Amino acid sequence: MAIDYGRKRTGLAVTDELQLIATGLTTVETPRLMTFIADYLSREKVDCFVVGEAKQMDNTPSQSAKYIEPFVAALQKKFPERPVFRVDERFTSKIAFQAMIDGGLGRKQRQNKPLVDTISAVLILQSFMQQQENERQRTNI
């Protein structure tokens, strides 16, 4: 499960059992996030969490990091049996917005912030899955 954490709302994405395709799950109001995750885990298999890591262009933590880090700590504490991986989330919102344009969504649909958050979570998950695949290929050489 990928998590694009935000102060107001959080985008979520998941993948199939074979971990081939990242799919947007939903956007949740952040105060309800832990409850949503716990409920989802009671119904679905989740191997790990992938949380976007907010960074500046110079690779230092962004302003958002001060909100994300406590969430990551709480996530690890509440669900210790699932590892938490971090993925650089720079540009995910811009890429998500461009994907909406490329997909032919109209101006009003592109202003749908929850949709941008969900697409950003998909991008985070796709990036993680690609990193994992690259690592597998590198170790099999």
In tens, the pLDDT along 94-133 reads: 666 666 666 776 777 766 678 778 888 998 999 899 888 8
**C-alpha dihedral sign at 76, 5, 60, 131:** positive
pLDDT top residue among 58 and 50 = 50
Within the chain, what is the greatest distance between any pair of CA atoms? 48
- Say how far apart CA 75 and CA 139 lie, in whole Å: 30
Token digits of residue 45: 């298999």
One-letter amino acid of 36: F
pLDDT reported for residue 69: 93
pLDDT reported for residue 49: 98
Tell me how far CA of residue 40 lies from CA of 3, 33, 43, 49, in angstroms: 13, 10, 5, 13
Residue 92 pLDDT grade (very low, low, confident, very high; cuts 50, 70, 90): low
- R_g (Cα) of the chain, nearest Å: 15
> Looking at the predicted structure, is the pLDDT value of residue 17 above 70?
yes
User: pTM for this one?
Assistant: 0.83
- Identify the CATH assignment for 2-139 out of 1.20.870.10, 3.30.420.140, 1.20.1630.10, 3.30.360.10: 3.30.420.140
92: left (phi over 0), alpha (psi -120 to 50) or beta: alpha
- Say how far apart CA 117 and CA 120 lie, in whole Å: 5
